[in-house]
Chain A
Amino acid sequence: MTPGKPVQGRPVQSPLAYQARRIGGKLALGFSVVVLLAPCLFVFFWMLSLALKYDIDNTAYPPVFIPNPPTFDNFVHVFNESPMGLYFWNSCIVSGLATLAALVLGVPAGYGIAKARAHSLAVVMLISRMTPGLSYLIPLFTLFQFIGLVGTIWPIAITHMVITLPIVVWVMIGFFETLPAELEEAARIDGCSVWQAFLYVALPLARPGIVVGAILSFIYSWNNFIFGAVFAGRTTRTMPVAVYNMLTFEQYQWGPLAAAAIVVMLPVVVLTVVIQREIVAGLAAGGVK
């Protein structure tokens, strides 16, 4: 053991006491990390464990932790017993359309709000985030019922814009505010219109922000349950709705339930890993969840 050098300015301590404190601090840090991560890891581990076990092991007490032997029957069951492929596709369409529409409308809006410093408009977006999703649903349900669209995929995709649009606008406001204004001003002096400066100068620079906004809004649209639950018909269910329906029919078939839960979350997990750096970088600080 080499005695640690006291950091400059630290009150003088014996090297041994300092070393002990350092090791103690490291242990406490390690312990804290384990305590923080354990619940998170355990829930995901248990999900995987349930999905890979036969039902006889899933309902055993004391519980079986490690699947032995592991089985993929539950996944096969999920795809055979229900049109899970169709529901997966529905979710892709709904979240894809809602995200696309949010980008088309939200990226210019974010640019405009950032450039004009129109923060009161940003608050409008914030209000839409504050409002419970259910409160949009009653009038919209009545409206779509009247038009005769309930049961088709359209009302789901349209209402998902309630989720995707504010996310894209918030992310883009934050992003465009950090872009230096000089480049667009140069383009303007060269005779570009405001829209041309936006399209050819600001937009290419904002590509990373657009990717993050798109992925975040896709994830939160994908995860949404309530809009689909109210508007979907038998063939237009989104993934979360389909998985919830399995719960009501297969109360005690835990293996297939857990397998279905994993299938819903797979795209989200992949996308989260892709943008985890940006999420931690504080995009959430803008109120995007």
Chain B
Amino acid sequence: MAAQTDGIVNAEPAKRPPSYRPPRYLSFIVPGLIATLAVIVFPWLFTVWMSFHEWKIGGSRHWVGVQNYVTLAGNQRFLEAIIHTFYFTALAVILPLVLGTFAAVVFHRNFPLRGVLRTVFIMPMMATPVAIALVWTMMFHPQLGVLNYLLSLVGLPPSEWVFAKHTVIPSLVLVEIWHWTPFVMIIVLGGLAALPSEPYESALIDGATPWQMFRHITFPLVLPFLVVAGIIRTIDALKAFETIYVISNGGPGTASETINIYLYLQAFAYYNVGDASAVVVVFFGIIVALSLVLLYVRQRAKWT
């Protein structure tokens, strides 16, 4: 099963005559690689170097060693931003995973107009985030917004949405769920398409309920796909920017300020590039650490 779900190496090359020398493909890769390295590695090295300086754009620059990191470790606002980021990420990963799996199971069934409806369903993940954030901003309006009106229709009290400290992050997550559930759906749908039909047939013969079939056949078989979706979602949720920046801009106060928003303000509102670079380094460390944990989970998911 591991080889089947791997999907990278589809077919092993056939046996070659011993004299065959595989052609060299280096010349194909080099230009793209150089461009990638130029826009990735150069900024990286430069960032690390900057993070050891006290540096304001347009101002002076001098070497301060690890001072920026020490200050950061004691910076209450930054530590809160880390907590906000984890809170936001946890919700914005788990909920789309659950809903996306449900959507995939539904869209895996046959029903009239399935193709058209599926296209409609994936629209949110292609839509321009800033434009969508604008629409949600208008919908979240506590007095004139349509969401509070819809709540009143079903008899629920109005919410403050993004204008109160304790509801702002869940409200932003709502937008994130809306945006990215289709993405999870597509990946899981790919997994469902590859499922064998035999287990289902024997389960039917044994009189299994649909839920039992999902729990004991579908779920274990699509788990590797779910883990992939989970990894990508985690990375994207950690670095979510537009939704938060446009809708709440980190507010009210700093209640929804994530690492990314804090970073943006440090760098492009206060122009403290030295401090901001230190934030980038810490932030990237967090992303890599979390990705490694998830990759480890993925390996385990493959073998069980």
**Interface residues in chain A, defined as those with a beta carbon under 8 Å from any beta carbon in chain B:** 7, 9-11, 25, 29-30, 32-33, 36-37, 39-41, 43-44, 46-47, 50, 59-63, 101, 105-106, 108-113, 115-119, 121, 124-125, 127-143, 145, 158-159, 161-162, 165-166, 169, 177-178, 181, 188, 194-195, 198, 219, 222-223, 225-226, 230, 239-240, 243-244, 247, 254, 257-258, 260-262, 264-265, 268-269, 271-273, 276, 279-280, 282, 284-285, 287, 289
Determine which residue in B35, B205, B238 has the highest number of CB atoms from chain A within 10 A of its CB, and name it: B35
Across the interface, which residues of B come within 8 angstroms of A222, CB to CB? Answer: 128
Query: Which B residues have a C-beta under 8 Å from some C-beta of A?
Result: 7-10, 13, 23-29, 31-33, 35-37, 39-40, 42-44, 46-47, 50, 57, 99, 102-103, 106, 109, 111, 117-132, 134-139, 143-144, 146, 149, 178, 182-183, 186-187, 189-190, 193, 201, 204-205, 207, 210, 225, 228, 232, 235-236, 238-239, 241-242, 245-246, 260, 263-264, 267-268, 273, 276-277, 280, 283-284, 287-288, 291
Query: B40, A282: Cβ atoms under 8 Å?
Result: no
Smallest CB gap from A216: residue in B: B126
In the complex the two chains form, what is the Cα distance from A279 to B123 in whole Å?
A: 11
Among A109, A135, A247, the one with the most B-chain Cβ atoms within 10 Å of its Cβ is A135
Expressed in whole angstroms, the minimum distance between the Cβ of A137 and any Cβ of chain B is: 7
Which chain B positions have C-beta within 8 A of A50? 135, 138
**A114–B45 CA distance with the chains assembled, in angstroms:** 29
19 CB contacts below 8 A, A to B, read A43-B178, A63-B144, A110-B32, A128-B40, A132-B260, A137-B268, A145-B57, A169-B32, A181-B13, A195-B27, A198-B28, A225-B245, A226-B242, A243-B130, A247-B137, A257-B134, A261-B134, A276-B118, A276-B122
* A124 / chain B contacts, CB cutoff of 8 Å: 33, 36-37, 40
B interface: dominant SS: helix
Known: A61-B149, A136-B39, A165-B35. A225 touches B129 (CB 8 A): yes
Known A135-B284, A142-B50, A282-B193: A130·B235 in contact at CB below 8 Å: yes
Q: Residue of A at shortest CB range from B42?
A: A139
A46: chain B residues at CB < 8 Å are 135, 139, 146
| Other-chain residue from B32, B103, B267 in contact with A106 (beta carbon distance below 8 A) | B32
Closest A residue to B105 by CB, please name it: A32
Closest beta carbon of chain B to A224's beta carbon, Å:
9
Docked-complex contact B35 and A105, CB < 8 angstroms:
yes
Point out which of B106, B210, B241, B288 has the most chain A C-beta atoms below 10 A from its C-beta: B106
Residue picked from B24, B25, B106, most chain A C-beta under 10 Å: B25
Considering the complex, give the chain A residue whose CB is closest to the CB of B247: A247
Q: How many angstroms between the C-alpha atoms of A109 and B28 in the bound complex?
A: 5
Measured in the bound complex, the distance between the Cα atoms of B146 and A47 in whole Å is 11
Q: Are A280 and B189 in contact (CB under 8 A)?
A: yes
Whether B144 contacts A59 by the Cβ 8 Å rule is yes
- Contact partner of A139 (CB less than 8 A), chosen from B29, B43, B111, B242, is B43
Q: Which residue of chain B is the closest to A26 with respect to CB atoms?
A: B111
Q: Top 9 A-B pairs ranked by shortest CB distance?
A: A109-B32, A112-B28, A261-B131, A282-B190, A139-B46, A132-B239, A112-B29, A112-B25, A139-B43
